[in-house]
A = this chain, B = another copy of it.
Amino acid sequence: MFNITSGSVRVYKLLPDGRRQITGFLFAGDFVGLATGEDYAFSAEAIEDATLCRFRKSDYRALIRQAPALESALLERATHELAAAQNQMLLLGRKTALERVASFLLNLPEDPVRPASDGLVRLPMTRAEIADYLGLTIETVSRVFSRLKTTGVIRLVSLHELRIEQPDRLAALAEGEG
């Protein structure tokens, strides 16, 4: 089990022919490998320089014995991840490309370095990673970004940083009310 100290990590699954689904992006503070023993059948890779804190299974067990409250906290985290997973299933199963990208942008964590950055979000991942997270192709992601840009909803500061100019319109688009 790992705890991310800094940086970003992607968790994903593959099909035999190479199709990839990224099931989540993890950031500082998040845990990787909540599985308690069995084989979990997913992969994880850093998408930028990252530092992790590793727990051995034996150490983990000792820690639990020593501080049972830790297990409650982990259960709560797992529950939150489960809720996030359900949201992502709704996105993948029922939302259009525009709605997916809008939802994605709204769920990105605000830059922790500049908390009052007012709509400025960092995109440490590539377009390909965004596409594999949203169940789309890079071309479609790119087209939606362009559309949001020309309609004034967002502004691309750089390839990996953008500003949400109209959060309410973006929120409406995310729920199919645009």
Contact = CB atoms under 8 A, between A and B. Distances in A.
A16 interface: yes
A81 B41 CA distance: 13
B95 A92 contact: no
Interface residues of A, number: 43
Contacts of A15: 90, 94-95, 175-176
Contacts of A21: 89-90, 93-94
B36 A76 contact: yes
A75 interface: yes
A117 interface: no
A135 B93 contact: yes
B85 A78 contact: no
A74 interface: yes
A113 interface: no
A82 interface: yes
A85 B75 contact: no
Contact of A92 (B36, B68, B89): B89
B81 A82 contact: yes
Interface in A149-178: 175-177
Given A19-B94, A23-B85, 8 more contacts: A13-B89, A17-B176, A19-B176, A71-B71, A82-B85, A85-B89, A89-B89, A92-B135
18 contacts: A13-B86, A13-B87, A15-B176, A17-B177, A19-B94, A19-B95, A21-B93, A34-B82, A36-B79, A41-B83, A71-B71, A75-B75, A75-B78, A81-B82, A82-B85, A85-B85, A85-B89, A93-B135
